[in-house]
Structure 1
């Protein structure tokens, strides 16, 4: 699997980000959706990666710098055609390694509280993420859970 920084201009990446947003809309009320669209992912504080197997886009993920010591995982998504192949695990490993390389002391994330998000929560927990209170600009929301990991 080849994981590379992506400029978010390719049609396959746009489709996968669209799939991600659609999935969030299916499982979360509008006020609880914190997924970013293409324009929001292009902000300078966000690094976006795409994961490829030859010409197939298999997944994506992003790292948002909250401050010099704290990063947030955003836009983790495995293509629906490549589920259960270890894509999310590899992307998460990559993002954690990058966060450590940058000198972050903490890595956090927000995800949904509904059943559809259970696989994601299990993955994060398997990497040592623990449930926490809202961070950054998030507020308590019964449709969200927050997780964090000391690096």
Structure 2
């Protein structure tokens, strides 16, 4: 695979378009009170690092980390529908975990949906070492949400 992952800006045309698709999909899959997708303008905040994954210049996936000091939250992980099954999501998740380590974060948290629409995402996170946890930050228990966490270690401590 010729994946190239780099920091991105919400104003990049292809990034903005994929963020819009992600936002619309998340809003369609969950009622407003259970949908925690960040609008694009929030992904431009100073505490958020947004990344884009491209293959031969074509944007396939996006993902972000919101830094809360000792810990971070994965946000807006999304692989374009037409690019699914090519390993882009796994590559993006691996890169985001490496970035979190580089930022000195001790652990990463995430919130995702509990339904069938989010099953592939939950399996991806579980395969990367994430496990379910109680709600964190400002989240509250919600039957439509699954909360997950992963303690970060240096690569050599993971046998990499």
Shorter-chain TM-score bucket reads: over 0.9
**Unmatched 5+ stretches in structure 2:** 153-160
**Unmatched 5+ stretches in structure 1:** none
Tell me, yes or no, if the aligned pair for 1:66 and 1:136 is still in contact at 8 Å. Answer: no
CA deviations 1:67-121 (Å, max 9, x no partner) are: 2x10100000001110110000000000101111121111100001111000000
- Superposed displacement of residue 130, structure 1: 0.5
In structure 1, the residue matched to 2:78 is: 77
- Superposed displacement of residue 126, structure 1: 0.3
SS of residue matched to 1:49: strand
Tell me, yes or no, if the aligned pair for 1:3 and 1:52 is still in contact at 8 Å. Answer: yes
| Matched positions, count | 150
- Matching of residues 118-129 of structure 1 within 5 Å: 118-129=119-130
In structure 1, the residue matched to 2:134 is: 133
Q: Which of structure 1's runs of 4+ aligned residues deviate more than 2 A?
A: none
In structure 1, the residue matched to 2:100 is: 99
Structure 2 length-normalised TM: 0.91
Tell me, in whole angstroms, the C-alpha distance in 2 between the residues paired with 1:146 and 1:58: 25
SS of residue matched to 1:62: strand
In structure 1, the residue matched to 2:31 is: 29
- Matching of residues 36-47 of structure 1 within 5 Å: 36-47=38-49
SS of residue matched to 2:68: strand
Tell me, yes or no, if the aligned pair for 2:9 and 2:15 is still in contact at 8 Å. Answer: no
- Superposed displacement of residue 55, structure 1: 2.4
In structure 1, the residue matched to 2:155 is: none
Tell me, in whole angstroms, the C-alpha distance in 2 between the residues paired with 1:77 and 1:46: 16
In structure 2, the residue matched to 1:20 is: 22
Counterpart check, 1:5 vs 2:2: no
In structure 2, the residue matched to 1:146 is: 147
